[in-house]
Amino acid sequence: MSELELPTKLVEMIERGRISNDDVRYLRQDYFKDSKLCRTEAESLFALDAAVKEKSAIWDEFFIEAMVDHIVNQAEPVGHISEENADWLKSCISRNGLVDGPVRLEMLVKVFEVAKSAPQSLLTFALTQVSEAVLNNQGPLAQSRLAGKQIICKSDVELLRRMIFGFGSDSGLAISKEEAEFLFDLNDRTIEAENDPTWSDLFVRSIGNYLLATIDGTEPSRAAVLSKDKFMTGDGLFDGLVNTLKSAFAEMRPLHEVLDQERETQNAQIATNHAEAERLTSSEAAWVIERIQRDGETHENEKALLAFIKEEASELHASLKSAA
């Protein structure tokens, strides 16, 4: 973060060593009265939060809300997190790869819940905060843990769930291979631990999602969103509506008939995509078997995953039939 010349009011709060309820109300109603933060103003709030130890009970909520709104709804591309903005956020909330405390971690998680997409690098960074706490008792989650206990607790599972399924990764609700690998690694490292029972459910459903998820084309890819404006290139909703109207008038057919036919075509394509997604490819089957057999033993969570795949897959790959 660059050197800042803070506004007088913020300097007064720092010198006083306290942020009061009145200060927060001032920040909400006067300092940011247009409800928008420029990058310099956002960085000034980070500096204020870092410099003052005694804070009002309503500060954290305001701080998180203001920062999430800035990076998701005000910074370009609106609604999505670019690589550049992700790097900026990481520089503001962390040191040496670890997030500075629970408040800033909650801010990061809220970004995933509000944004439509974010780079894989930012999600990997967030997931690492959980694994560092579980495996090394380091980072923003370390304070609430028993030293020396490598255990995935219920709060860890809920945090992972919020991170992974917040905006649904890069493609709708699909889990990426990188996220699936992370979950397998964490499972392997805690295989003998007394993990919370909810971990097994998250592990099985997340890996199952990666293997069986349907990409039906209803959500644009992150790359497409960040690289062009669909309305400017003729691929947007407006252009689709115009083309539908043109088709209806060209063929002198009632508009509702054209719309019904297009809806049937779209539904048929979605159904086809679902059926394709529910078939495990040979490479997917090989990946699952390799991961499960990495330590030479099939553990309970892995048995549960195989059972889930057997039940949910429309067509089970031959290599998995004996394993399942």
Give per-residue pLDDT as tens, 26-63.
998 876 766 688 899 999 999 999 999 999 999 999 99
266 and 288 share one domain: no
The residues pairing with 54 across neighbouring beta strands, listed in sequence order, are 18
Q: How far apart are CA 195 and CA 186, in angstroms?
A: 11
Better pLDDT: 130 or 230 = 130
In-domain check, residue 82: no
Given pLDDT bands bounded at 50, 70 and 90, which one contains residue 216? very low
Give the model confidence (pLDDT) of 240-295 as tens digits.
555 655 565 566 656 556 555 666 655 544 444 444 444 678 888 899 999 998 98
Residue 11 and residue 52 share a domain: yes
Beta bridge partners of 18: 54
Residue pair 113/71 in contact by the 8 Å Cβ criterion: no
Instruction: Please spell the DSSP secondary structure of 115-134, one letter per residue.
Output: -SB--HHHHHHHHHHHHHHH
The whole-angstrom separation of Cα 206 and Cα 94 is 27
The structural domain count of the chain equals: 3
Range of lowest pLDDT (19-33, 77-91, 215-229, 284-298): 215-229
Distance, in Å, from the CA atom of 303 to the CA atom of 306, rounded to the nearest integer, reads 5
Q: Which domain holds residue 300?
A: 282-321
In a domain, 239, yes or no: yes
Residue at a domain's end among 242, 261, 277 = 277
Same domain for 271 and 288, yes or no, is no
- Answer yes or no: do 263 and 243 share one domain: yes
Q: What is the pLDDT of residue 7?
A: 87
Residues 63 and 7 in one domain: yes
Same-domain status, 26 and 48: yes
Same domain, 250 and 301: no
Specify whether 69 is located in the same domain as 7: yes
* 304 in any annotated domain: yes
**Shared domain check, 286 and 259:** no
Within-domain flag for 70? yes
Answer for the pair 279, 314: CB distance below 8 angstroms, yes or no.
yes
pLDDT for residue 163: 94
pLDDT given at position 76: 94
- Quote the pTM value: 0.77
- Of 25, 40, 74, which residue is a domain's last? 74
1 plus 61 within the same structural domain:
yes
Q: Which of 74, 98, 130 is the last residue of a domain?
A: 74
User: Is residue 317, in this structure, part of any structural domain at all?
Assistant: yes
241 lies in some domain = yes
Question: Residue 297 falls within a domain, yes or no?
Answer: yes
Residue 234 pLDDT grade (very low, low, confident, very high; cuts 50, 70, 90): very low
81/102 Cα distance (integer angstroms): 21
Structural domain includes residue 157: no
